[in-house]
Amino acid sequence: MHITHVGQPRSRVDGRKKVTGAATYAAEFTAPDLAQGYIVSSAIARGKIRTIDVTAALAVPGVIQVFTHENRPRTAWRGSKYQDEVAPPGTPFRALYDETIVYSGQPIALVVAEDFEIARYAASLVRVTYAPERHETDLEKVREKAYVPPKKRSGIRPPPNPRGDSETAFAAAPVKVEGEYRIAMEHHNPMEPHATTVVWEGDGKITVHDKIQGAQNSQAYITNVFGLSKGDVRVVAPFIGGAFGSGLRPQYQLFLAVMATLELRRSVRVVLTRDQMFTFGFRPDGLQSFSVAANEDATLQSIRHDLIQNTSHFEDYQEATVNWSAMLYHCENVTTTYKLAKLDTYTPADMRAPGSPTGLFALESALDELSHKLGIDPVQLRLKNYAEVDEGEGKPFTSKELRAAYQLGAERFGWARRNPEPRSMREGRELIGWGMATGMWEANMMKTSARAILTADGRLEVGTATADIGTGTYTILTQIAADALGLPMEKVTALVGDSDLPMSPVEGGSWGAASAGTAVELACHAVREKLFNHAKGINDSPLGGAKVNEVAFRDERIALISDPSRSVSIAEAMRAGGVDRIEAEETASPSKITQARYASYTHSAVFVEVRVDEELGQIRVTRVVDAVAAGRILNPKTARSQIMGGVVFGIGMALHEESMTDHNLGRFMNHNLAEYHLPVNADVENIDVIFVEEKDNLTSPIGVKGLGEIGICGTAAAIANALFHATGKRVRQLPITIDKVLAE
């Protein structure tokens, strides 16, 4: 029987490599004569370096050089040269640029030595004196200075124009909820720290192994900053040990490692320590003020969502945070505003569905409060105000099976048995709460190229420069390619993470599968046509005068659909054409018409059970059902892992993760995995993932909408809502820690 792969639960093709250690990460590549760098970080948050004395460091045997702003080699002068493909407006941070300190933890020197421990020891001997200036890291203190970003960040939709009159409608409505909501700043904390190994190939050429979600983003950054040509710089990053957005932009260790390599004409590796992982981008906090009002019959009358989010002094980071409040529900009077305020920190970075879980925490918490006040079931409230179109932009959705997600999720969870009364369920010392929330995230496709090479032995290689950031990209590209040419997966090799491969943007925004998947399919179809034309050239071809749409590529052969006994093998077709390989490169572009006329989003319905120890205030998330509508599912196994990971991050956001700042020092204090709490196995119990059937042929030609991020989107809000149901306590500030549960 003929076997196809797309839609089937296939194990990861790179799984064995990963668990056996054969997968090579940025800091594991090596080179002859490899030198090691160690970074010295600033101890103050703002001011100037008065003196930096490297004499003692240089005197340590084995130290090769110490780089500071005083001896930094010349690099590009214009700030725009440092802008990478996802940079927000502004001038990116430039390491060792001058004596100015703009945030605590800023790299101020790079010690390069024969080995890592020598470099680390020597770094401790670098003596720095500062002229500190007053810094501000407290968002509350700069609230009054908030501004509407003058320049929009490319790819980020600004909040839609207000519709109706939310204030008048709010005043007139009988049932209302108003509140201030806050999340914590969070750091991505991938298992693999950021690292760059630069191999000096001689003759001014370098091969760079960088922790990056898009090899060509690092390549372009290096060529712009160091004035090199593309041919001199190859970036190879086949495996990424988690990134969650921290690897979208080239980070300062890349700059430092390349700078040192070019200057020393010798291979150099720079690895960040875990605490240095807290010295660049993070998820911004925000001051969110949210209000919603309804009629007695639960029809929404007014929504208002205002946000002030922190950014750095040098860039205007932006994300879509309040937009969800303008499109998730039907409501005639809606106002959303988005402002920034500058702090003496690094620029925030995209992190795990940037903006969505933040904004949805306010929206979905407030709707839960509203349903309680109205005495209506939270799911019913959402169904009653279901948005049939994106009312923010006035566009229909490409697809939206959220109703089915509510229904299937509720059924699986047993939601019908819920007693709406808070504190109504208990087992021993534990209060039990059931809460739910809606999740929503963008479904994007990005212009991407791919190539396919079929050889006479029936092997197929496909490649595109995107990354596999742990999402299963290698696997789904292999499935798509195998099906396109009717091959077993073992005969297909997928290549990603190499700047030499055809053009791809960074893997982010959950667009990888829709974009790279479509590109690979197009390239395979081009190969298929060429192969078919060769097959037709066979004397008395079994395919006769068939057209390409009248044959099937299956079981490593080309067969007539009407009579599968008439077929040609790949080798026979190539022989007839006098070739031993067929190659094609294609570019997949999103439809401009779809983008102009439609809104494309993924949705989810998240149902959560928490158990709260009433005396200790301890919260456990004992059960999660996440019903996801994300278009066609290429591989239910890797897809399920994506959603489970997202849900775990939602648990982290709701209960654990918090980057704490000491405002006196202007510095993140819990910069390690002991004090920055991430959910561990003991925090994660039952997670049940449902994929709702959803047909969408507008977002991408292959029907895919992407699901790397939708798993986190509504989860934190659902947990907060479950906590309310368990305890009767509404917590509006994340993470929900024991002190907040026990507070009177």
Residues that bind ligand MOS (CB under 6 A): 213, 244-245, 248, 350-352, 354, 508-509
Which of residues 92 and 245 has its CB atom nearest to ligand MOS in the complex?
245
Sequence-separated contacts (24+) of 4-7 with Cβ below 8 Å: 4/483, 5/478, 5/479, 5/482, 5/483, 5/489, 6/476, 6/479, 6/480, 6/483, 6/634, 6/635, 7/632, 7/633, 7/634, 7/635, 7/636
Which of residues 94 and 352 has its CB atom nearest to ligand MOS in the complex?
352
Judge contact between 211 and 176, C-beta under 8 A: no
Task: Give the shortest CB-44-to-ligand MOS separation in angstroms.
Answer: 30
Task: Give the shortest CB-258-to-ligand MOS separation in angstroms.
Answer: 23
Beta-sheet pairing, 567-569 with 619-629: unpaired
Which of residues 352 and 725 has its CB atom nearest to ligand MOS in the complex?
352
**Which letter does DSSP use for residue 595 in this model?**
H
Task: Give the shortest CB-708-to-ligand MOS separation in angstroms.
Answer: 7
**Conformational region of residue 584, where left means phi above 0, alpha means psi within -120 to 50, and beta covers everything else:** beta
Provide CB contacts within 8 A for 743, sequence distance 6+: none
Judge contact between 608 and 718, C-beta under 8 A: yes
Which of residues 351 and 624 has its CB atom nearest to ligand MOS in the complex?
351
Task: Give the shortest CB-481-to-ligand MOS separation in angstroms.
Answer: 24
**Catalytic: 709?**
yes
Provide CB contacts within 8 A for 539, sequence distance 6+: none
Cβ-count burial of 395 within 10 angstroms (0-12 exposed, 13-18 middle, 19+ buried)? middle
Which of residues 646 and 679 has its CB atom nearest to ligand MOS in the complex?
646
Task: Give the shortest CB-711-to-ligand MOS separation in angstroms.
Answer: 12
Q: Which is nearest to 603 in space by CA: 307, 401, 378?
A: 401
Radius of gyration of the chain (CA): 27
Which of residues 453 and 653 has its CB atom nearest to ligand MOS in the complex?
653
Helix (H, G, I), strand (E, B) or coil at 210: strand
Backbone angles phi, psi at 687, to 5 degrees: -120, 120
Which of residues 351 and 710 has its CB atom nearest to ligand MOS in the complex?
351
**Conformational region of residue 719, where left means phi above 0, alpha means psi within -120 to 50, and beta covers everything else:** alpha
- Alpha-carbon distance of 297 to 28, in angstroms, equals 62
Which residue type sits at 424? S
**Which letter does DSSP use for residue 160 in this model?**
P
- Alpha-carbon distance of 242 to 256, in angstroms, equals 22
Beta-sheet pairing, 47-53 with 127-132: antiparallel
Task: Give the shortest CB-245-to-ligand MOS separation in angstroms.
Answer: 3
Q: Which is nearest to 717 in space by CA: 151, 111, 288?
A: 288
Task: Give the shortest CB-375-to-ligand MOS separation in angstroms.
Answer: 38
Task: Give the shortest CB-240-to-ligand MOS separation in angstroms.
Answer: 10
Which of residues 238 and 706 has its CB atom nearest to ligand MOS in the complex?
706
Which of residues 409 and 508 has its CB atom nearest to ligand MOS in the complex?
508
Task: Give the shortest CB-350-to-ligand MOS separation in angstroms.
Answer: 4
Judge contact between 650 and 715, C-beta under 8 A: yes
**Which letter does DSSP use for residue 327 in this model?**
T
CA dihedral 517, 519, 523, 529 (to 10 degrees): 90
Which of residues 239 and 415 has its CB atom nearest to ligand MOS in the complex?
239
- Beta-bridged to residue 199, according to DSSP, are 207
Q: Distances from the Cα of 453 to the Cαs of 64, 149, 459, 572, 702, in angstroms?
A: 45, 46, 8, 17, 21
Supply 127's token pair.
């003596």
Which of residues 47 and 631 has its CB atom nearest to ligand MOS in the complex?
631
Residue 314's CB: how many other CB atoms inside 10 A?
Answer: 17
Which of residues 351 and 653 has its CB atom nearest to ligand MOS in the complex?
351
**Which letter does DSSP use for residue 549 in this model?**
G
Task: Give the shortest CB-202-to-ligand MOS separation in angstroms.
Answer: 35
Judge contact between 238 and 213, C-beta under 8 A: no
- Alpha-carbon distance of 686 to 248, in angstroms, equals 31
Which of residues 378 and 470 has its CB atom nearest to ligand MOS in the complex?
470
Task: Give the shortest CB-506-to-ligand MOS separation in angstroms.
Answer: 7
Task: Give the shortest CB-191-to-ligand MOS separation in angstroms.
Answer: 15
Judge contact between 692 and 405, C-beta under 8 A: yes
Judge contact between 487 and 455, C-beta under 8 A: no
In total, the chain counts a number of residues equal to 744
Task: Give the shortest CB-311-to-ligand MOS separation in angstroms.
Answer: 16
Asked, as a colleague might, if the bond just before 735 is cis with ω within 30 of 0, I would say: yes
Helices and strands: H and E segment counts in the chain: 17, 30
Which residue type sits at 46? R
Supply 263's token pair.
């200057």
- DSSP sequence for 99-143: SEE-STT-EEEEEEESSHHHHHHHHTT-EEEEEE------GGGGG
From 167, 263, 709, 744, the catalytic residue: 709
Residues serving a catalytic function are 709
